[in-house]
Every structure is written in structure tokens, then in C-alpha cells.
Copies of this chain bind each other. A is one copy, B any other.
Amino acid sequence: MKRLSFFVVFALISVATFAQQALWGTQNIISPEIHPDNTVTFRFLAPKAIRVQVIGDFLPKQQIETPFGPGEADGTADLKERKEGVWEYTTPEPLPSELYSYSFIVDGVKTTDPNNVYLNRDVASVTNIFIIKGGQGDLYSVNDVPHGTLAHRWYESPTLGINRRITIYTPAGYENSGEKYPVLYLLHGMGGDEEAWITLGRTVQIMDNLIARGEAEPMIVVMPNGNVDQEAAPGESDLGLVKPNMRLPHTMEGSMEQSFPDIVKFIESNYRVQKKKAGRAIAGLSMGGFHSLHISKQYPDLFDYVGLFSAAIWPDKEASSPIYQDMEGKLKTQFGKHPKLYWIAIGKTDFLYKDNVKYRQTLDEHAYPYEYYESDGGHIWKNWRIYLSKFAPMLFK
């Protein structure tokens, strides 16, 4: 071989790669294709398949049977085979602006879309995502705005006796400023970890966009791991590349709440922050809402802003931790110190809806002030992204 230019040789390699991809059937297909009117076409190459379906959260829900009675799952739609083995489905209507997730089912086998590299993991499932812009989806998109920094760090928890991974967003300008910033502690739900709010929750994009629009104050967002038995997200600890579990030990028995001051201490000794109640917020979804509720009443001087997103409320009867004792007295103390915002949000069809009604009744009985936001839908990330985008603008004003 003479001295070929790198580009010529690279072209050879590329062809070899493409040949290989053609073997796998991933070449020259655009999927999903978002049309100018916001209808979307999905494509999948499968020349030998009998049936190809798309399953996604933009399709009408399907009813499924569970051992406990009727349940609900994402809907499906059939693709039709077009020329050369490429199957296709186009949504009949434009989709509203949102972040959506989907997979394909090929002859009964679920598969990701090989033409879409954007994937989200939710516990042990991986699905593709896409975004329809022009509304709420703009908040979840990277736009041409100043960008904050996202750091994956480790801190020591003396209370738990382990080092733990933590995710920290600092807003654009933080590094070159002398100012002290307020902090939102943002907690994940069961099956989640310190990456959930970043991947499924689009926190970096939401905060960058809200701050750039002037709708939220520049703030630091701290996303710890709420599973006290875990040092880090699956794959990020010395447990190795294990299959993630929905249920882990010691998730709602008091340890997270008891060890939470370790996190605040770590942040306040490592970042330029406002070390006062008015400069701290705590919010979380589901189990993280439960943690936020119990942490904020256990340490009534810490947080002036509390957000309960689709929160679990009541501890398990077997949870004997002192954290969950004297709930009435602790709430009295907390509300006696007049937090600036106590915000409760839940979807109409959330399985925790009635528990939240009952909790609000408890607050009403004592005339403890709170704000309430009710959305459509259930216990899903779509709602938690919306709740964050509504909660963050109310903080630190």
C-alpha cells in the first residue's frame, strides 16, 4: 500500500463498516422521522418478519391482565411492510410537544430501534426516546443557551459508613462568579439512582432552559442516591455490571433520612452556597417524595421549600425508625416555622392519589398552608418532568 491519504483509506474502512451494518440491517434508515407537522414515522428493517409493532407512551394505553386484576400498559401499533423489508408506521395525528419513549416488537420480541441511539434506562428496561418541540418538549431539549456543568462526584457518608456517588448540576456562570447559590436537593424514586433525574428527568436541560428564560433563579441541583445500600447507580460501583433491581433493601426505613445531613454538609463545605433555610429546597418523586416529606419535617430548620411529586406518604408499619414517630408533632414544628413553599403534585390516575388526598386532609385539618397541583396521568416520568418545570420557578424568589 502506498501512502494513501487518510480519507481514502478511511473510505475503505467505512465501506467495510457499512457492509457489516447492512448485514445487520441498520443502514440508511431514518427512524423516528419527525415531520414538520409533528406526525412521526417509525421505520424498522426486518425482511423476514411476520409482524412488527411499535410500543410507546404516545399510543392509546392498552388494558392488560395482572394477577391482581386489570392493569394498563403502553399501547402498540402495527407497522406495515414497505419495499425492501422496511416496515413503517406513521402516527395518524401530530403529537403534542413532549419527550416520548418507545420500542419495537418484532414477532413478539421487544427490541430497541437500531436507527436511534438515544436511549433511556428505567430500572432494568431500556427504551428509545424522541422529543417533539414547540411546547413542553422545548424545556427538555438542548437549546442555544448558556449551559451549566454536570458533575459526577463521590462523597463520604459518615452516618452510613460508605462513599457514595452523587450528581451535581451547577448553573452557567457558577465557576466564574463570587456569588453564593441556593441549592435544590432533588430525589429519585424506587428503582432509581443518582442518574435518574439526569436521564429520565432531563434536569440539566430543564434547569438550563428555565434559568436562561429568566423563569428560575440560578441554583445548584444536587441529586443523591436514595438507596442507602447502594454506593452508586448500577454499573458505577464495585458490584459490577449487574442487572438493576426495582427493590433494594433499606430504602424506606429511616436510614436515608438519618444520613441526609451528611449530604448537606458535603455540599455546603464544597460549593459556594447560601447556608440558610431560605437557600435550600428539597423535592422528590414517589419514594423521593416520601424522603422529602420526612427529611423536611425531621430537620425543620433546613428547608424553606418542599416539593412532593407523586409522593409516597405513609411509612410501612414495620418501619420502626424514630424518623417516622410523632409525625403529628413534627409537622406542627415544621409548619410552625413557616416554610415558604410546601408544594404537593400528583396525577389524577396515580396509584398514590388517595394517599395524597388523605395527607392533604391532614394538612387542612391543621390549616398548614401548602400549594397543590394536579395533573392528568399517573405515576410516570412525564409528570415528574412537568412538576420539576413548575416547581423550580417558585424557588428562591
Chain A contact residue count (CB 8 A cutoff): 106
Shortest Cβ distance from residue A289 to the other chain B in the assembled complex, whole angstroms: 10
**Contact at A68–B12, with CB atoms within 8 Å?**
yes
Residue numbers of A with Cβ under 8 A of B are: 1, 3, 5-7, 9-10, 12-17, 19-21, 23-26, 30, 45-50, 55, 64-68, 71-74, 103, 105-112, 114-119, 121, 124-126, 129-131, 133, 141-144, 146-147, 149-154, 163, 165, 172, 175-176, 190, 232, 234-238, 240-241, 243-244, 246-247, 252, 270, 287, 290, 312-317, 351-352, 354-355, 358, 379
Interface centre among A14, A234, A313 (most CB of B within 10 A): A14
A121 to B246, CA, bound (A): 25
Interface centre among A64, A240, A379 (most CB of B within 10 A): A240
Shortest Cβ distance from residue A308 to the other chain B in the assembled complex, whole angstroms: 13
A23 CB contacts on chain B under 8 angstroms: 64, 73
Shortest Cβ distance from residue A246 to the other chain B in the assembled complex, whole angstroms: 6
Instruction: Specify the chain B residue showing the minimal Cβ separation from A204.
Output: B152
Known: A107-B107, A232-B142. A117 touches B243 (CB 8 A): yes
Interface centre among A126, A146, A163 (most CB of B within 10 A): A126
Instruction: Specify the chain B residue showing the minimal Cβ separation from A378.
Output: B13
**Contact at B126–A5, with CB atoms within 8 Å?**
no
Partner of A379, one of B13, B153, B235: B13
